Amino acid sequence: MSYKYDEESINAAERFIERIKNKTFKKQYQPNSSRKYPNEKASNSLKSFFESDQFKALLSDNEA
Amino acid sequence: MKPDNRSYEYLIKHFTEKEIKDRFLVIYNGAREYIQQAGISECTAVNEFIIDEILLDYYADIDRLKDFHNIELAEPKKVAAYTSYWIQKRKPIQLIKNPDEETLRKYPQINWINENFAISILFSMAFDMAKPPLVPAGILIRLTEFQKSLRYYFTFRHVNAQMLELLLKGIDVLPMYPSITAEA
């Protein structure tokens, strides 16, 4: 036996579909500034960090 | 019928072989330099296969995001955050033998080799550390303290890539280093 929904629920479902079709809802995009990632610069940056006092400090103590 | 996406070949079509190869070099070579600079190359090794897995996970994530968010190219902070996340998750640096007493004294952080590497990647891929810092040395100490707190999070808390991306954007409100860009 199939479940019998009342008219209010059926109308609400139809209104929902209409709102999708009418493009009432807009996707929220995460802000992003598209740009090519500079891989070689990343290697230089990483090398500089490994040679820095900050890297030594990060490795220096015994606390997590 | 949906296309077969059980292999990762589609990533080469979407991102190009050159781009994936160049990114592999950044991570793999970076990990090898890291264990050298940290003085732990005698008892650790970079696992190439895990680096493969990190890049597959990273590109699969970015591919989905690009589709949903209508992104042409992911911005550098997103690149850094998702790469760092998969490094701390997959742990590409492995102990290959028990460290001796001298190594333990010299490198008390050996328990957190992957967390420290993930932090190095997070900041070095988002900010250009080859350029002079934008703040005095006294202020940079705060960044180190923050990195140590982050290491605690990596080890004992639940971390996700979105949170790391937001963290980098928060730091960029008052940046300590210039953001990394392809431009000079």
Q: Say what the pLDDT of residue B3 is.
A: 65
Q: Say what the pLDDT of residue A35 is.
A: 86
Residues of A with CB under 8 A from a CB of B: 27, 29-30, 32-52, 54-55, 57-64
pTM: 0.90
Q: Say what the pLDDT of residue A64 is.
A: 46
The token pair that represents A2 in the structure block:
């199939």
The alpha carbon dihedral of B48, B49, B52, B54 has a sign of: negative
B107 CA: distance to closest CA in chain A (Å): 7
pLDDT digits (tens, 9 = 90+) for A18-55: 998 999 988 888 888 888 999 999 999 999 999 999 99
The token pair that represents B33 in the structure block:
């330099």
Q: Say what the pLDDT of residue B104 is.
A: 85
Distance CA B119, CA B125 (A): 10
Distance CA B124, CA B80 (A): 8
- Using CB atoms, pick whichever of A34, A45, A61 lies closest to residue B130: A45
Average pLDDT over residues B96-107: 87
Which positions in chain A touch B128 (Cβ < 8 Å)?
A: 41, 45
Q: Say what the pLDDT of residue B173 is.
A: 94
Q: Mutation target for A interface from B111, B144, B146, B157: give the one with most A CBs within 10 A.
A: B144
Distance CA B96, CA B110 (A): 12
Which positions in chain B touch A46 (Cβ < 8 Å)?
A: 26, 30, 33-34, 120-121, 124-125, 129
Q: Give me chain B's average pLDDT, please.
A: 93
Helix residue ranges, H only, chain A = 7-21, 39-50, 53-60
Which positions in chain B touch A44 (Cβ < 8 Å)?
A: 130
B144 CA: distance to closest CA in chain A (Å): 6
pLDDT digits (tens, 9 = 90+) for B52-98: 999 999 999 999 999 888 888 999 999 999 999 999 999 999 999 99
Helix residue ranges, H only, chain B = 9-15, 17-37, 48-69, 76-90, 101-106, 113-126, 137-156, 161-171
ipTM: 0.89
* pLDDT class of B177 with cuts at 50, 70, 90: very high
Burial class, B87, CB count within 10 angstroms (exposed 0-12 / middle 13-18 / buried 19+): buried
Would you kindly state where each structural domain of chain B is located, as residue ranges?
13-171
* Lowest pLDDT segment from B2-11, B57-66, B155-164: B2-11
Residue pointed to by tokens 């610069």: A41
Q: Say what the pLDDT of residue B91 is.
A: 97
Q: Mutation target for B interface from A26, A28, A29, A32: give the one with most B CBs within 10 A.
A: A32
Which positions in chain B touch A52 (Cβ < 8 Å)?
A: 129
Which residue on chain A is closest to B184 by alpha carbon?
A41
